[in-house]
């Protein structure tokens, strides 16, 4: 499906669309920056966006160490295991989505929370592998469609 058609379908859904808070321009990424995205800006302007950062909801600070998923465990390069914080935040964020009757989410690519389809492999070498971040996986398990924000990017 073309990005324009997919976007039109999102806007036609009743209720809010969950979005990664960093895509909404909030400085919630591990390094304290954002990844503001034009589609998410349009969702915000239309009053359709529900920005969430499961990592912050789970109690992790910003800025924080970069984390990746290795064998189902969310770790820092130094071996620090933060799986429970990621799971706690994802569970709470999914609960908010269900209460708000969210049917779809537009998420930050490659993130150990929000990544959909591809995530970093835990080697901290920039290697991507098929899989979902903790939040994206829990959304899918709850029957909520997840979309990688990159599918809306078009070449200029």
pLDDT tens-place string over residues 43-92: 999 999 999 999 999 999 999 999 999 999 999 999 999 999 999 999 99
Q: Please give the model's pTM, rounded to 2 decimal places.
A: 0.95
Domain ranges of the chain: 3-152
Please give the pLDDT value at position 134.
98
- Do 35 and 23 form a contact (C-beta atoms < 8 A)? yes
Beta strand 145-148 with 104-107: parallel, antiparallel or unpaired?
A: parallel
What is the distance, to the nearest Å, from the Cα of residue 101 to the centroid of all Cα atoms in its chain?
17
Q: Could you read off the pLDDT of 81-111 as tens digits, one per residue? A: 999 999 999 999 999 999 999 999 999 999 9
Average pLDDT of the residues in 5-15 = 93
- Helical spans, DSSP H, in 23-101: 38-45, 54-57, 83-99
| 45-49: long-range pairs with CB below 8 Å, 24+ | 46/11, 48/10, 48/11, 48/16, 48/17, 49/16, 49/17, 49/19, 49/24
- In this predicted model, what pLDDT tens digit does every residue of 115-150 receive, in sequence order? 999 999 999 999 999 999 999 999 999 999 999 999
């Amino acid at each position: 499906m073309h990005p324009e058609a997919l976007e039109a379908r999102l806007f036609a859904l009743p209720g809010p669309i969950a979005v990664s808070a960093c895509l909404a321009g909030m400085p919630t990424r591990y390094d304290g920056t954002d990844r503001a995205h034009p589609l998410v800006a349009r969702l915000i302007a239309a009053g359709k966006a529900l920005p969430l950062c499961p990592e912050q909801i789970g109690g992790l600070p910003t800025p924080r160490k970069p984390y990746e998923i290795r064998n189902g465990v969310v770790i820092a390069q130094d071996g620090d295991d933060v799986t429970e914080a990621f799971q706690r935040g994802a569970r709470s964020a999914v609960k908010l989505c269900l209460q708000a009757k969210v049917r779809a989410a537009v998420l930050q690519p490659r993130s150990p929370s929000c990544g959909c389809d591809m995530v970093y492999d835990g080697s901290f070498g920039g290697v991507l592998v098929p899989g979902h971040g903790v939040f994206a996986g829990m959304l899918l398990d709850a029957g909520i469609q997840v979309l990688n924000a990159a599918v809306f990017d078009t070449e200029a």
